[in-house]
Structure 1
Amino acid sequence: MEDGSMAFGLWIGRRAMQSDRRSTRANGVRTPSRAGLRVTTIQRGVQLLLATAFALASHPLVAQDDPHPQQEGLPLAPGRTISTSFTEGSWMSVDVSPDGQTLVFDFLGDLYTMPITGGTATPLTQGMAFDGQPRFSPDGTRVVFTSDRSGGEGIHIISLDKSDTVQVTQGKSSSYQSPEWTPDGDYVIATRQGPGQGKLWLYHVDGGTGIQLIDEPANRRTTGAAFGADGRYIWYAYRTGSWEYNSGMRQYQLAVYDRETGESATRSFRYGGAFRPTVSPDGRWLVYGSRHIADTGLRIRDLDTGDERWLAFPVQRDDQESRATRDAYPGMSFTPDSDAVIAYYGGGLWRVPVDGSEPAPIPFRVDIDMAIGPEVDFDYRIEDTETFVAKQVRDAVPSPSGDRIAFSLLARVYVMEWPGGTPERLTESDANEHMPTWSPDGEDIAFTTWDDATGGHLYRVNSDGGDPTRLTTAPALYNNPAWSPDGERIIAVRGPGRAYDEALTRGVPGGADDLVWIPASGGDATVIAPARDGNHHFTSSPDRIYAYNPGDGLVSFRWDGTDRKQHVRVVGAGPPGSSTPPPATLVTMAPQGDQALARVVNHLYTVTVPLVGGDVPTINVGNPDNASFPARQLTEIGGEFPAWGDDGRKIHWTIGNAHVVYDLDAARAFEDSVAAAAESDDDEADPGAPEAAEEEEEGEEGESGDESDTEDEDPRYAPEEVRIRVEFPRDIPRGVVVLSGARVVTMNGDEVLESGDIVVRDNRIAEVGATGSVSHPEGATVIDLAGKTVVPGFVDTHAHLRAQINILRTQPWSYAANLAYGVTTTRDPQTGTTDVISYEDLVRAGRILSPRIYSTGPGVFSSENVQDLDHARHVLRRYSDYYDTKTIKMYAAGNREQRQWILQAARELELMPTTEGGLDTKVNMTMAIDGYSGVEHNMPGFPMYADMVELVARSGIAYTPTILVTYGGPWAENFFYVTEDVLGDEKLARFTPMEEILQKALRRPGPGPGPSGWFHPEVHTFDQVSAFVRDVIRAGGRAGVGSHGQLQGLSYHWELWATQAGGMTEHEALQVATILGAHSLGLDRDLGSIEVGKLADLVVLDGNPLDDIRNSNTVGQVMMNGRLYDGDTLDQVWPDQVAAGPFYWLREAPPGR
């Protein structure tokens, strides 16, 4: 980014309430002040914001009578304004008016017009809605464009005098791109993207639902419609199949569609692809984009002769290797005389003559007053109290009498009296304990165990506690035990421990699981059948075993696995636009009666299971009131680990450390009483009476005449909820150590102590300064680090650690690997399951060698189908009130309206929401505009210029590009697998299962047949991605290093090196790896720099990373939370000397290897 590329005059208005915002920063890397920068407050709606910003989550917000003029119908009101000027821009689609005098183009989500000779642009649209890809109508009076101003994306038309704006398309669930007028001006053609491939659709400008033009083949994406003089033929580009990572070329080719015959014909077959066809008005010339080696150019074809040549090269890099949600290249246009093309590239607009003469720049200036959402940025302090309360209760089950519950907590089994008892451990075992199940008489509890060294077994213990009895004779991985109704046998799923040990991610592939039964007194297991289902359970009948899988639904069979019967399938409502309803993840038959309990997406339901012949019935609980058989939604926020009470009238579940009991009879009685009261009110009410009218009027307004903010809520039965609070000692070392004589890169601004001392007391930094200026406390241990370099512990802001689920590991290998490589804090954005919460508890208790574990928990997906702000509050309370994640991952959770509701709820509940980039720069820009806290993965469509730099930096969105899995280009990890000796890395082999190394380092195949697994260095793009990160942080923005879990531990350093490759200084790269990463997670008051009072998370390096960033991987020692470990072995060095391991993943190699 050139310093002179914009005229500064930046105004950032911040929302009125500042109580939850940072007022100062002590780490020296706060967003710097800029010339002409002023902080102002948007006044419109201030009283409303003050009154409602922290309303209870159960209360709807007061409607705004006077929305901000730039809100444009969207639910989120602006909270800040960016005002500045630009003379360069990113990915600008441009069109020329029919008279050749005017240009229209998009810029940061607004439309502008400007004389074709250049100058200062005039806004045509302005607001928070994202408008793009404008095209003039044939008569030059109107402009068609894409916009999400209705809450979902659609095609809109605006008159040039702004007197009229109409929406052409209907609905909010599809996305659109590249609209174009038919030559007669009666129709618009655009690509509509819903489920499946994006297809060209034809819409009449006066209304209707439109029609798809090209149906077959179904897997062909069609986009970029273009006309010449003849409206019969439509030029377009197509791609067969969807985008894919690490793709080969020939992604797009050109074709022509005949509107009379309905037939298409391919018109290109270039290795570099062909896209964005643009036809001259006289019908002679075709200009399109294509790739040559690593660069994109514009080619021109003489349609009379078929001859082709390069017209301009290089130009803007295309988006073939991504989802191309704004097409594979920005829109361009011929001048009316067909002599030149007006195109965007290099950050500017160009007039490109068709005769091959020199292109001429078209200078422009865009003055923006851009409304953006309030900032969502919180400080989360890290507690170091003596004890902590465990966050997650797992596998809770009620006793047959219902007066006690058994559950697993920190991988130990507990029992407590329900509802007010004190949890008590059942055993004193050191093995991990899981999945308790009660004997039918309530006297005993069976449970499974796992130990990384010895494997797992099934045990039985008296429900009042004592010495457990081992029931199984052979170690294995035992899951989901259930006691038979007669108390004689226990069933469980048994899998080989070997498969569990060899599992590299959350699942356990390669096992041969069997459903077995074991005598309740212990003995050899008897195989019932291969375990093709899960959730095995019983009703009151001892003769049949029930089970569930999403394909077959709820099934049952005999003890020998025969006579298999299907009973019911349960599905839910799919996300908008989806035609496939999601199946339940679990269905459990009630112990008595005809009810079943189902978990669909994140919610729990009861359904009535009919006895029918023929096809198995399917019950859709998307709207329980309209289900084919009686159904009931039990949860508003969600629930996990559901279980029936023994009488089939109560349902138990847990969420976080809360245990909930839903009484079906009490719920029905409550609903009957509410209905009776409503009927009585209706009978007594007289709407015509003056008194009633007065009361109604008073109910609508408060005493001051303001609109009331306390609307009557629909009364609902509230199940019983009890928090299970079990305190555990927090792992905090005791003692004082001085790390002396090392170079200390503090990340307190630019401070570097060439010889410094760090005093650590317990788990916090007590003093830091130049050697000789720091007193050594009496009795302190002094460790000489002369010649070493100490940096803050590395922060991985996008760390998929993928530890095993359901049965928790004693020591996940991925946790140890990251710590050994100096990563002391991780945040996993989208864990898939909530098991990570229990792992976090185990880390806090000191039972696992690990970095600090943070996560968003499972992502918030479109399957939630958020209906309004109040619904979003319910969804997010899962994370704020129960999981205590501090952050969430909004993972493509719907249209703009739904994303804004989620953001509003997150801000109210003090959650920092990060987002899935999704290979969609357009959506990424809207998330920055709205005020989201973070975006994961890089934005394709590089290079990016000053406008994007300022948007990302000034919005405050934290940018974690995960360059190893580059979006829009080859994965950067491929570069490192080619250039690094992964197989010969002894440390990597010590902390990584050999299967993981072999499958990633021996061969790099492509996604399918044919070449694609190897990339010439010239086509890698990670330096362009990281150049944008450099520009963002230099503009005062935030970024993080996220390894994506590609090669646990080592891949963090690869990601760091790739981040620096775009021109950062080594110190800037280390900032991103430490203090800026901590700031991105809201943890920088305790982490990210070496300063007094902060937690003692440090890395001792043998080399100096300020000389060469690759010295980040010379980890000699790691201090996490005040404990110092050897970087090569993870043996604890201080305050105790404890050997690490043995590690289960270190397997014997074949002879001679």
Structure 2
Amino acid sequence: MPMRTPRPFSSLLPLLVALLVVPLEAVSAQSTSSAAAAGAPGVRDVEVVALDPESDEAKTLAEGLPLRPGRLLRMTVSEGSWMSVDVSPDGQTLVFDLLGSIWTLPIEGGEATPVTRGMAFDAQPRFSPDGSRIVFVSDRTGGENVFMIAKDLSDTTQVTRGNTNSYQSPTFTPDGRYLVVTRQAGAGQGKLHQYHVDGGTGTTLISEPANLRTTGAAFSADGRTIWYAQRTGAWQYNSALGDYQLATYDRETGDTRTETSRYGGAFRPTLSPDGRWLVYGTRHVADTGLRIRDLATAEERWLAFPVQRDDMESRATRDAYPGMAFTPDSRYLVATYGGKLWRIPVDGGEPAEIPFTARVEQAIGPEVDFQYPIEDTETFTVKQIRDATPSPDGTRLAFSALGRIHVQEGESGTPRRITNLEGNQHAPVWTPDGRHIVFVNWDFGEGGHLWRVPVGGGTPVRLTTESAFWQQPAISADGARIVAIRGPASAYVEAITQGAPGGAREMVWIPAGGGEATFIRRAPGATSPHFVRGETERIFASGSGGALISFRWDGTDERTHLRVTGPGAVGGTGSPPASLVLMSPNRERALAQVGLQLYTVHVPDVGGDGPTVSVANPDGAAFPVRRLTDIGGQFPTWSADGSKVHWSIGNAHVVYDLEAARAHEAAVEAEAPADDPSDAPADPDDPADEPEEAAEPAPRADDAYQPLEYRVRVEAELDTPRGVVLLSGARIITMRGDEVLERGDLLVRDNRIAGVGAAGSLEVPEGTEVIDVSGHTIVPGFIDTHAHLRAPFNIHRDQPWSYAANLAYGVTTTRDPQTGATDVLTYEDMVRAGRTLGPRIYSTGPGVFSGERIQSLDDARSVLRRYAEYYDTKTIKMYGAGNRATRQHIIQAARELELMPTTEGSLDLMLNLTMALDAYAGVEHNLPGFPLYGDVAQLVASSWMAYTPTILVTYGGPWAENHFYATEDVIGDEKLLHFTPFEEVQQKALRRPGPGPGQSGWFHPSVHTMDLVSDFVDQVVEAGGRAGVGSHGQLQGLGFHWELWATGAGRMTPHRALKVATLLGARSLGLEGDLGSIETGKLADLVILSGNPLDDLRSTNTIRYVMMNGRLHDGDTLNEVWPSPREVGPFYWQTEGPAPAPAAGMR
């Protein structure tokens, strides 16, 4: 939000200084019309014009990056966000960065001139001591590097190499021969690094301690001393401040010394050319100010306050404060704040604005915007099969779908359910004779057991004597015993996390015909028990650290046969272990899963502990390795004879025949032409042997062996209510523009809205049920665009409490960005089938991380096909998947596959802006570095990047949830306690500790930043952009309302906040055709409120009824009101607390 002009500190009102708020009057500039329009504050003449990505102009603007732009954002700006500025040595010119381009400006102000332009993100410019060159950081090579450009633009030089490091705050040494810049390699801490301007790898100046971050180098006049800011670690959520302090480094002795110890921290040291003055940033109460120190006397005073808020509380990827500089005469400091450039007198006089305008012509990626209609059909095909396993003879497949055990004959058979139990059944395994299936179940009435059922169906036989939480059954090769993982039933009932019951698990066996369990060993460190032919005395299992282990039936004599590691992230260190390793039944190979990719590895007998084999490079592995997947796979298992590997992905099942694959490859090799001597490798010492372009031709698609893949189509009935109901007399906030029907009627037929209008204006069919809701307010169902519902993995619950809680609080659609597992696909289907009460379930599935090692467009296509063709998520979450080139490959593949990808914000404003330039369809979490101004708001709006700020877990400031826990009676909220396990409530509401000693769990109201984040959301929406309300799963159900109230904490109107929570959320997810507003033909997802949220936004929590897909539920109980009145519950989590102790003296 705009800030007032800072004044000398002595003239300020004491302590808390209010910020002036400028009203927004911008209009949408979303279209590609050539007509100029108003834009966000500080922005005018906005137009977005289409650009042919195949044109020469697009190629030029791509600057060598993979993504060609598809649009040009043209606008004139007079303010900018987080602009680093420097003054030329002659004092005549400023250089600054704006939206990823470098600009120059006369010192007195005026129209800025672009130095760089295009898709690359260029930032943090600094003049050379002679003024002839400008150093800056750019990602034009696909990753960040340091570049120099001549002031006259005659040449550009790349100083650093590689594409996996990041750089901050480059600056020249006073003699102009070297550069010092903060260099961060991988996940390590940024360190001051010195490079020669002519190249080389340079050297780190301060290596130890490894967790010390050093940034913002500034040289003393004689060049001997470097001032810098330092902190331990990268950042801290809910910081107590004081993390950054100034220090000095002696370039002759290598000595360092800490120079400040301020509560508000100290950062961005800036020294005057005459060596007298030091200016740095620090925090005072809620705001940032600039302090000036006379280095001759060590006296300090405030120079300007408040200024641009610092970035100490996030990753500070462009330093903790924008670059600033003295004029050559040392009389003025030039800095940026309030979106403007300022000349601040060192003597304490009034700052003077340096006005500027910049005619921005910003290249942005082609739009990624799709619609995903919600179809009304009688049935639907289940999205996921789980735990699929072939019969011993390979002719049938057993699996779990929708929590029921099914068997299918062959690849084209019809799946049939073979059990009649209630609750959920999982993990089927075949008896060796192929006549029966053993499986586990969970039912909150009966608990969990092991069962056996004939393959042809019938009444299952319970095998276990006591209820427990059972997982991963396996049958010994001789069929005499069943091994399984067992945990306490109570641990699963009471679990509020996804992975219960954790360390309480143990491995046991029971007789194949049923009976008492015999203890084998504790389960942590040994999962997925399985057997090998001829090894009757040993159980094999997947161990910790990628190990394949075996042990006796009493758990003794553990042996490690093999360890498997995989490839790490590109540019990272370390080799992640396999998450699963299974010995083949014939004991020749192991099947290993690393991430979602599957491999086979030969297992040598070497004695003692087996070898460690890396599958990162199969051709160079210690023993033969075969990679089986490119898209990935789940639930891998061996065929009974060990000749084939089976796995599933979505509702597809894949069979990889190892012998057929070898035969195919041999045939392809035999048909290949003989080697041509001219194709011999080049001699590295012969200059003539340097081809202009050494690119290996891509193999033909038909060269690779293709495993058998078929779809398993389990059909389920879509839950659709039948009937007609009229909701009569309510105020209806339709979200059709600003329309509000003060007294309206709403007609619902089955699951869709059949009419909406003024009371008495609709034609109502005979027999319609009428429900009088006079005095109430109807709004569209709420859409949580960042909802982590966290239902249990592997063994599923019919009714996760988080699903019920969200629906009861009016959330009728959720999108979980990063589920960590694919269980959500089954939960989604359970809601659609009416098995589970809950909102509509959308998700990205597991995030796309750097471990996918995407380095080309083809790599990206392979990974994203997983989501488009198998998971059917309609979206992905790109979660730190790699450098700029990798991210562009992903957005290109997403557009081809009609996915709308969202992204992880990562507390990184530069990253967020590049994702807007690349036209990602969403960003999760707020952009740090606030307040942000019209330039960024217009970019976000024009790129169509949906902004979900998740203010409850604010990036760059105190988490807003701390405010609500401090001001709301959470522990006394009867409705919340009805839908939430008490363990969850007391864990979150009774104590709010910080993450460690000295860190904060409570914050004074003055330092919260909800209003700053809210105001930027408002700017984006005002500029025609998209936004959503996302509760982050912080407090299921009620947390959505907290997030909505935080979204409206600034100047946003209640109606606009409601629009963000409904229509704009639907638009952000590609669901606007069916959701988000109250219009004829849309789905009947509604919330009926007792209060009026236009008068008080907190009235969103006065829920009388919730209608989801046409079913009307009571808001306090979820009892169905229409069309089939029924009570629901009691729920398993509604347990009694302890009885009061009668002992004297107890309180």
Pairwise TM-score range, normalised by the shorter structure: over 0.9
Amino acid aligned to 2:425: E
Distance 2:354 2:45 in 1: 27
Whole-angstrom distance in 2 between the partners of 1:760 and 1:307: 74
Task: Kindly report which structure 2 residues correspond to 1:504-653, keeping only aligned pairs within 5 A, or say none.
Answer: 504-509=496-501, 512-532=504-524, 533-540=526-533, 541-551=535-545, 553-653=547-647
SS at match of 1:446: strand
SS at match of 1:734: coil
Matches within 5 A, 1:662-677: 662-677=656-671
Pair 1:781 & 2:769 matched = yes
- Asked if structure 2 preserves the Cα contact closer than 8 Å seen for 1:814 and 1:992, the reply is yes
Matched, 1:104 2:95: yes
What CA distance in whole angstroms lies between the structure 1 residues aligned with 2:58 and 2:974?
A: 62
Selected match of 1:274 from 266, 269, 294 = 266
Tell me which amino acid in the other structure corresponds to 2:735.
M
SS in 1 for 2:60: coil
Displacement, 1:217? 1.1
Partner-residue secondary structure (3-state), 1:898: helix
C-alpha deviation, 1:910, in angstroms: 0.2
SS of the aligned residue for 1:1039 comes to coil
Task: Give me the whole-angstrom Cα distance separating, in 1, the residues matched to 2:1134 and 2:851.
Answer: 40
Alpha-carbon distance, 1:213 to partner: 1.0
- Whether the 8 Å contact between 1:1043 and 1:1052 is mirrored in structure 2 is yes
Which position in structure 1 is the counterpart of 2:690? none
Residue 1088 of structure 1, aligned match among 1076, 1083, 1087: 1076
Residue 7 of structure 1 deviates from its aligned partner by: 11
Aligned residue identity for 2:622: S
The aligned amino acid for 1:95 is D
Q: Which one is further off, 67-76 or 892-901?
A: 67-76
| Identity across the alignment (%) | 65
Query: Where do 1:820-839 residues align within 5 Å?
Result: 820-839=808-827
Q: Name the structure 2 match of 1:210.
A: 202
Contact 1:10 1:84 (C-alpha < 8 Å) held by counterparts: no
Displacement after TM superposition at 1:296 (Å): 0.3
Equivalent position of 2:689 in the other structure: none
| SS of 1:977 mapped into structure 2 | helix
1:416 Cα shift?
A: 1.0
Aligned to 1:200: 192
In the alignment, what sits opposite 2:853?
865
Q: Which runs of 5+ in 2 are unaligned?
A: 3-21, 680-692, 1142-1147
Q: Is the 8 A contact 2:47 2:73 kept in 1?
A: no
1:904 alignment counterpart: 892
Cα gap change, 1:645/1:925 in structure 2, threshold over 3 Å: closer, same or farther?
Answer: same
Q: Shift of residue 359 of structure 1?
A: 1.1
2:30–2:942 contact (8 Å) kept in structure 1: no
Q: How far has the Cα of 1:574 moved from its partner?
A: 0.7
CA deviation after TM superposition for structure 1 residue 13, in Å: 5.2
Question: Does the 8 Å contact 1:232/1:258 carry over to 2?
Answer: yes
Which letter does structure 2 place at the counterpart of 1:82?
A: L
RMSD (Å) for aligned C-alpha atoms: 2.1
Say whether residues 1:293 and 2:267 are aligned partners.
no
* Matched position secondary structure for 1:491: strand
1:339 to 316, 321, 331: 331
Q: Which amino acid aligns with 2:308?
A: Q
Deviations 1:383-413 (A, max 9, x none): 1100000000100001111111100000000
Structure 1 residue 228, shift from structure 2 partner: 2.1
Distance 1:1035 1:498 in 2: 53
Q: CA deviation at 1:42?
A: 1.8
Task: Give the letter aligned to residue 168 of structure 2.
Answer: Q
**Mapping of residues 122-201 of structure 1, within 5 Å:** 122-194=113-185, 195-201=187-193
Aligned to 1:54: none
* 1:1152 CA displacement: 4.1
Change (3 A) 1:977 1:11: closer
In structure 2, give the amino acid aligned to 1:671: E
Deviation at 1:788, TM superposition (A): 0.7
Per-residue deviation at 1:353? 1.3
2:956 corresponds to 1:962 = no
Letter in 2 for 1:586: L
Alignment equivalent of 2:358, drawn from 346, 360, 366: 366
- What is the aligned partner in structure 1 of residue 80 from structure 2? 89
Tell me whether 1:844 sits opposite 2:832 in the alignment: yes
The 3-state SS of whatever aligns with 2:910 is helix
SS in 2 for 1:983: helix
Give the whole-Å Cα distance in 2 for the aligned partners of 1:329 and 1:1102.
47
AA partner of residue 155 (structure 1): V
Contact in 2 for aligned 1:658/1:723 (Cα 8 Å): yes
Give the conservation status (yes or no) of the 8 Å contact 1:452–1:811: no
Cα displacement string for residues 644-703 of structure 1 (whole angstroms, at most 9, x for unaligned residues): 001111000000000000000000000000000004697999xxxxxxxxxxxxxx9xxx
Instruction: Check conservation: 1:1095, 1:1121, Cα contact below 8 A.
Output: yes
2:111 to 113, 117, 120: 120
1:453 maps onto 2:445 in alignment: yes
1:795-839: CA deviations, max 9, x gaps? 000000000000011110000000000000000000000000000
Confirm whether residue 240 of structure 1 aligns to residue 232 of structure 2.
yes
Report Cα offsets for 1:288-308 as digits up to 9, x if no partner.
Answer: 000011000000111111111
Residue by residue, what CA displacement relative to the aligned partner does 1:773-800 show, whole Å, maximum 9, x if unpaired?
Answer: 0122111111010111110000000000
The equivalences for 1:398-547 within 5 A come to: 398-509=390-501, 512-532=504-524, 533-540=526-533, 541-547=535-541
CA distance in 2, matches of 1:153, 1:242: 18
Give runs of aligned pairs for residues 704-853 of structure 1, distance below 5 A. 712-713=700-701, 715-853=703-841
TM-aligned CA distance change 1:1081 to 1:382, over 3 Å: same
Equivalent residue, structure 1, for 2:649: 655
The AA in structure 2 aligned to 1:241 is G
Q: 1:40 to 1:346 in 2, by over 3 A?
A: closer
Counterpart AA for 2:1034: Q
Over 3 Å counting, the alpha-carbon distance change for 1:462 and 1:887 in structure 2 is same
- Quote how far apart the aligned CAs of 1:470 are: 0.2
Is this contact kept in 1: 2:1017–2:1047, CA < 8 A?
A: yes
Deviations 1:209-243 (A, max 9, x none): 11111011111100001112121111100001231
Deviations 1:310-355 (A, max 9, x none): 1111100000000000100000011111111111111111111111
Once residues 803 and 247 of structure 1 are traced to their aligned partners in structure 2, the CA distance between those partners, rounded to angstroms, is 30
1:74 corresponds to which of 45, 65, 84: 65
Q: Is the 8 A contact 1:197 1:242 kept in 2?
A: yes
Asked if the contact 1:9–1:36 (Cα under 8 Å) also holds between the matched residues in 2, the reply is no
Q: Does 1:1141 align with 2:1129?
A: yes
Distance in 2 of aligned mates of 1:771 and 1:384: 28
Query: Deviation at 1:431?
Result: 2.2
Change (3 A) 1:491 1:427: same
> Which residue does the alignment assign to 1:995?
983
- How far apart, CA to CA, are the structure 1 residues paired with 2:411 and 2:860? 30
**Equivalent-residue separation in structure 2 for 1:664 and 1:111 (angstroms):** 56
Structure 1, 1086-1095 or 457-466: larger mean CA deviation: 457-466
Q: CA deviation at 1:452?
A: 2.3
Give the distance between the partners of 1:88 and 1:827, measured in 2 at CA: 35
Whether the aligned pair in 2 keeps the contact of 1:7 and 1:84 (CA below 8 Å) is no
Give the Cα separation in 2 of the matches to 1:616 and 1:1014: 52
Taking the aligned partners of 2:25 and 2:1115, their CA distance within structure 1 comes to 47
Q: Distance in 2 between matches of 1:1079 and 1:756?
A: 25
Q: Number of paired residues?
A: 1098
- How big is the shift at 1:41? 3.0
SS at match of 1:887: coil
Q: Secondary structure at the match of 1:912?
A: coil
Write the distance in 1 (CA, Å) between the matches of 2:28 and 2:952. Answer: 36
Counterpart-to-counterpart distance in 1, 2:793 and 2:52: 50
**Secondary structure, counterpart of 1:406 in structure 2:** strand
Per the TM alignment, residue 1145 of structure 1 is displaced from its structure 2 partner at its CA by 0.6
Match of 2:849, as an amino acid? F
Does the 8 Å CA contact 2:219/2:225 hold for their aligned counterparts?
yes
